Amino acid sequence: MDIVLQQLVNGLTLGSVYGLIAIGYTMVYGIIGMINFAHGDVYMVSSYLTAIAIALLTFFGFESFPIIIFGTLIFTIIVTGAYGWVIERVAYRPLRNSSRLSILISAIGMSLILQNYVQISQGARQQGIPTLLSGAIRFEVGDGFVQITYMKLFILFAAFLGMGILTYIIQKTKLGRMCRATQQDRKMASILGINTDRIISSVFVIGAAMAALAGVLVTLDYGAFDFYVGFIIGIKAFTAAVLGGIGSLPGAMLGGLILGLSEALFAGLISSDYKDVFSFSLLVVILIFRPSGLLGKPEVEKV
């Protein structure tokens, strides 16, 4: 019993992180129909930026946790957002009207460039940051206990806050309205005077910002990272996006949570060695019964 509860808590935090990264995949796919393979590496860049921000803040003598965490979040989100903007501007926009395949190759190239650039500039060894927030809440359950660290609580709170703000932006604000219009019919949106290039750029910035939020949270929790850390989590987040229905924003969040929860439960109850096998098999099974994902709309072939 206590293991199940413990793994539910772990899975929820893991899933919310997957969800945050999956948002970047799903929004970009929704608006220009490409898989941004460099997104996982944007996440990786944000872990390095987290370490840099923390180092800078402690260097200037800030000690308290709230200042460090908010300073780090703001710095990382802004700089990672700038990365997202530059990547779109340099690697994808010139290929906007060419075939889908070339833009995909460009994305893979961008991913390799980011990995190697970080490897060369930061070194290939694993890096780490000190634990900033320690301590935990413990609940006695039967003869065992469930432990929720403050960091995990913070991750949950920040991730759901981020998703909430994003949902509000997309559903209620003018930028969100323009994003949805561009997603449904880009040419028509530009005929109505919407600068679609700018909207696409802002979607990349939003996706990168969400990845940055995830990067800060995970880095603060785990403490260790290297230049390759974006690959596996990027694949997992992409799986989450497909699971929820790629192109659908609530789908990405839901897919992330489902993937994180099932992975954690499987690891805790059956075998942690086969948890990746389980999560990808889950994807296969769901795609067999719902080919467009959980919340995706099936594409109706017009005859």
Instruction: Provide the binding-site residues for other proteins, judged by CB under 8 A.
Output: 165, 168-169, 172-175, 177-178, 180-181, 184-185, 187-197
User: For residue 148, which amino acid is it?
Assistant: I
Measured from the CB atom, is 125 or 187 closer to other proteins? Answer: 187
**Contacting residues for 120 by C-beta, under 8 A, at least 6 apart:** none
Cβ proximity to other proteins, 90 vs 136, nearer residue: 90
Quote the least distance from Cβ 131 to other proteins, whole Å.
32
User: What is the residue-wise DSSP string for 243-270?
Assistant: HH-TT-HHHHHHHHHHHHHHHHHHHHHT
Residue 214 has a CB neighbour count (10 Å cut-off) of 29
Q: Please report how close the Cβ of residue 238 comes to other proteins at its closest, in angstroms.
A: 24
Rounded to whole angstroms, the Cα distance separating 189 from 241 reads 25
Residues 6+ positions from 4 with CB-CB distance below 8 Å? 265, 268, 269
Provide, rounded to whole angstroms, the least separation between the CB of residue 188 and other proteins.
4
CB of 173 or CB of 271, closer to other proteins: 173
CB of 260 to other proteins, least distance (A): 27
Least CB distance to other proteins at residue 193 (A): 4
Instruction: Identify which of residues 180 and 275 has a Cβ nearer to other proteins in the complex.
Output: 180
Of 157 and 168, nearer to other proteins (C-beta) is 168
The CA R_g of the chain, rounded to the nearest whole Å, is 20
Count CB-CB contacts under 10 A for residue 101: 9
